[in-house]
Amino acid sequence: MNLHRITLRNAADLDGFRRAVRWLACEELAPQHVVWSLDEAPGLFGEDALRDAPPVSLPRGVARLIELGVCHSDPERYALLYQLVWRVLNGERDLLEVASDPLVHRIDAMARAVRRDLHKMYAFVRFRRMKAEHLERFAAWYEPEHFVLEAAAPFFIDRFRSLDWTILTPVGSMRWDRRELRFGPPGRREDAPAEDGFEEGWRGYYESVFNPARVNPVAMRAEMPKKYWRNLPETASIPGLIQTASRRVDAMIGQEATMPAKRTPERALEAMWDQEPATLEDLNAIIAKAGPLVPGATQAVFGEGPKHADIVFVGEQPGDQEDLQGRPFVGPAGRLFDKAMKEAGIDRSHAYLTNAVKHFKFEQRGHRRIHSKPTAGEVKHYRPWLMKELELVRPKLVVALGGTALLALTGKSTPISRSRGRARFGPYLGYVTVHPSYLLRLPDEVTKREAYEAFVEDLRRIHDLAQADPDTGELPLAAE
Ligand code: URA
C-alpha cells in the first residue's frame, strides 16, 4: 500500500490541515493511506508536496469541530479529524448526528476539552504591568492544556484593545500592540512580571464579588484548578474567604430578614453572576431590578455616554436632580463639571459619565432631601456593577472624581491629596482628581477659584492622556 506522509505544525495548524484535506480529498486518498506526523516547524507539508486543490464543502458542524479539534493536544488529532472528513464526504453526511459513533464521541470530547480550556484562559489570564518600561506594556504568563493561543486571540483583542499586551505560554506567545497581533516563540514564566501594583486591587475585586453562600471548595478547585492559582493575585484571599464563609452566610441570612425579599443586594449580585450581562442595557436592567440598597431613591441613575467612549468619569452617587431626572451630573455639581470640561476641551457628549453608587441616598429635612455620603459597604455592593460597566465600555482612560470613586475603583480608601494625578485601575489607565461638588463646598471665593483652576488643569491632562498616540503609546504629557 502506498502511504502518504503529511507533516503539520505541532500546534493548532488549521491552515495546514485544511490544505492537506483539500489535496487528499481531491486525490481520493482514504485515511488508511495517510500517515500524519508532527513537527515544530515543518517544511511545506513534509515529504508530500501538496498541490493546491479546490475547497471541499463540509457541513458547518464538521467545520466547527475541525476548528476546535486542531487545537487539542492529542497527537492523533489530525488523523482523527481526517477520518471524520473522509466519512462525511463518502456517504455519511449526517455522521455528527450519530452521537454513539466512537469517532464522533471522541472528537466531540476533544472539542469540549478545547472549549473548556479556552474559557479557563479567558478567566485566568492576569496581565501585569511590565516594570521599567517607558511605554505602558503588560504581560501575562499562562499555561494552557491545549493549543488554544490563536483561538483565544480575538477574545483578548476585544477585551483589551487599547492596551499593549503579550501573553507568554510554554508553547508560543502572542503580542497585541493595539493595532496588530503577532505570534512568537514560547516564553518563560520569568519573562512576565510576577506582580505589579494592582495585586491588592484584584484581591479587593475578587473579595467583593465572592458569594459565601456558594462555597464549594471541590467545585471551586475544578473550576479554578490549583495550577492556575499562583498566577492569580486574588487566590491569596481564597483560604480566608472559605474559612469565614459559614459565618458570613449566617450574617447574610440575618441581614436578609431585615430587608425586603426582592431587593437584597446579594440577590442582585447573584442575578448578575448567574446571567452575565453582555451589554450595558442588560447590566442596567439588572441594576434597575435590584432597586436601591437604602430605600428612598426614585430610580437608578445609569451611566450615560457613547458605548465605547475613550474616557469614563466615575462620580460618587446621583444627587437630588439626578435622581429626579434619571441622568448623571445634571444638578449643580454637574453644571460646574460641564463648564470645566468645556474649558479643558472635553466634549461631554464624547465621554461616558457614571457613578460608583447608582441610587441617591439622602436625609429628609423638611421639604429638602440632603445628600448623604455612601458608606464603604454600600460602595462595595455596587462595585461589581461598576467593574462590569467598565469592562463593557472598555475606555482608554478611567477618571476617579473624588474619594468615593477612588474607593470603588481600587477597593482602598485613600486621600485624594495623596493620589491626585495619573493612576492605574486594574487593566485601565487611570486619573484621580477631586469631585466637582468639593469645589462648590469651598468657603471663600479665592480658594474656590484656585481649586477650580486646578480642576480644569487636571481635565486638560485627562484630555491629553486620552489622546495618547496609539502607535507608540507616547503621551503628549511625556514630560510628566
Ligand atoms: N455627584 C455625583 O457624584 N454624581 C452625580 O451624578 C451628580 C453629583
d(CA 401, CA 417): 12
Pick from 304, 317, 359, 378 the residue to mutate for probing ligand 1's pocket: most ligand atoms within 8 Å of its CB. 317
Question: Residue 254 Cα, ligand 1 centroid: separation in angstroms?
Answer: 32
The gap from C-alpha 442 to its chain's centroid, in whole angstroms, comes to: 39
Question: Residue 275 Cα, ligand 1 centroid: separation in angstroms?
Answer: 29
Is-contact 413 356, C-beta < 8 A?
A: no
How many residues would you count in the chain?
480
> Angle at CA 292, nearest 5°, toward 291 and 293?
120
CATH 3.40.470.10 fits 275-479, yes or no: yes
Question: Residue 464 Cα, ligand 1 centroid: separation in angstroms?
Answer: 24
Q: What is the pLDDT of residue 31?
A: 97
d(CA 376, CA 202): 17
Question: Residue 16 Cα, ligand 1 centroid: separation in angstroms?
Answer: 56
d(CA 251, CA 342): 48
Q: Which of 3-7, 103-107, 134-138, 304-308 has the lowest mean pLDDT?
A: 134-138
Question: Residue 302 Cα, ligand 1 centroid: separation in angstroms?
Answer: 11
Question: Residue 356 Cα, ligand 1 centroid: separation in angstroms?
Answer: 9
Q: What is the pLDDT of residue 188?
A: 92
Question: Residue 419 Cα, ligand 1 centroid: separation in angstroms?
Answer: 20
Sort 173 into a burial class: Cβ within 10 Å, 0-12 / 13-18 / 19+. Answer: buried
Alpha-helix residue ranges (DSSP H) falling in 142-292:
149-159, 199-209, 217-223, 226-229, 238-243, 245-257, 265-274, 280-290
Query: Got the DSSP string for 18-40?
Result: HHHHHHHHHTT--GGGEEEEEES
Grouping H, G, I as helix, E, B as strand and the rest as coil, residue 219 is helix
Domain-wise residue ranges, the chain: 4-119, 125-234, 275-479
Pick from 324, 382, 435 the residue to mutate for probing ligand 1's pocket: most ligand atoms within 8 Å of its CB. 435
Q: Give the pLDDT confidence of 203-235 residue by residue, as tens digits.
A: 555 555 455 555 556 655 655 566 666 666 666
Is-contact 9 38, C-beta < 8 A?
A: yes
- Closest ligand 1 atom, residue 322 Cα: 6
Residues of the chain with pLDDT > 90, as a percent, come to: 62
Which has more confidence, 198 or 420?
420
Spatial neighbors of 440 by CB under 8 A, at least 6 apart, are: 332, 333, 336
> Angle at CA 26, nearest 5°, toward 20 and 29?
75
Ligand 1 binding residues, C-beta < 6 A? 315-319, 322, 328-329, 331, 333-334, 355, 437
Q: What is the pLDDT of residue 245?
A: 60
Cell triple for 245? 464563609
Question: Residue 354 Cα, ligand 1 centroid: separation in angstroms?
Answer: 8
Q: Give the pLDDT confidence of 1-47 residue by residue, as tens digits.
A: 688 999 999 999 999 999 999 999 999 999 999 999 998 766 544 44
Question: Residue 398 Cα, ligand 1 centroid: separation in angstroms?
Answer: 16
Question: Residue 3 Cα, ligand 1 centroid: separation in angstroms?
Answer: 74
- Closest ligand 1 atom, residue 353 Cα: 6
Q: Give the pLDDT confidence of 416-470 residue by residue, as tens digits.
A: 999 999 999 988 899 999 999 999 999 999 999 999 999 999 999 999 999 864 4
- Closest ligand 1 atom, residue 316 Cα: 3
Q: What is the pLDDT of residue 479?
A: 32
Pick from 355, 360, 407, 434 the residue to mutate for probing ligand 1's pocket: most ligand atoms within 8 Å of its CB. 355
Asked if the model's pLDDT at residue 85 lies above 80, the reply is yes
Pick from 329, 337, 378, 438 the residue to mutate for probing ligand 1's pocket: most ligand atoms within 8 Å of its CB. 329
Question: Residue 323 Cα, ligand 1 centroid: separation in angstroms?
Answer: 10
- Closest ligand 1 atom, residue 405 Cα: 3
d(CA 140, CA 152): 14
Q: What is the pLDDT of residue 237?
A: 60
- Closest ligand 1 atom, residue 356 Cα: 3
Alpha-helix residue ranges (DSSP H) falling in 54-194:
60-69, 77-89, 102-124, 149-159
